[in-house]
A and B are shown apart, each in its own frame.
Chain A
Amino acid sequence: MTSTDKEAMDLRAQIQQYLVESGNYERISNKLAQRLLDEGWMEQVKKITRETMEDDNTTNFSEVLKRVEPEAVNLVSSNTKDEIMQQIKAFLYDIVDTQ
């Protein structure tokens, strides 16, 4: 790992830390959860999880997660994703200097 990678990771951690401390992380997280619940994403993921357990005949968490996670991430509607990304970006523009 190069030193710039290290710095980048530090920076990312720093930003997350600040997001949490300012209470914005909770706000964004709650909003995302609410939107996903409203659009039925939560139920869809639960259904996919059950079907995966049945198909593979396993209840092993990491095995099931490996199969479900990519699909679940894709299932988020672009509306919700854009809106949340917009909010995160707006927050970052406020606190970060860019070139």
Chain B
Amino acid sequence: MTVASEKMSSLTIVSVSETIYNNLITSMVQDIVSRITSQKQLLDSRYPDMSPLFYDPQGKLDIHGQPKIQESSIYFRCNNCDRDISANRYAAHLERCMSRGNRKT
């Protein structure tokens, strides 16, 4: 393709390049913005009273704004022997509980 030179009077290579570049950039921005806004609209309509995840700059609180709970104060019910076992000793308990169960049968 060749272009007659008199047509170039009001246009320069630089200005046309600038336009093409701007087209590229703005279409990318529009793409990103439209995706984010429609995503947000969907979330808002589906969960009207959703609050954003909690952020603690000190790193002490979790995403619900709660401090860490001591694992030793949580208990799991062991299905094998039907006793409540402290969460941080559950693996150790299973090792003994399961093998004891095996020995019995």
Contacts and interface: CB of A to CB of B under 8 A. Distances in A.
Nearest to A2: B10
A97 B4 CA distance: 7
Interface of B: 1-5, 7-11, 13-14, 16-26, 28-30, 32-34, 36-38, 40-41, 44
Nearest to B43: A59
A96 B8 contact: yes
Interface residues of A, number: 44
B36 A28 contact: no
B36 A53 contact: yes
A76 B8 CA distance: 29
Given A11-B7, A76-B25, A89 B13 contact: yes
A97 B11 CA distance: 12
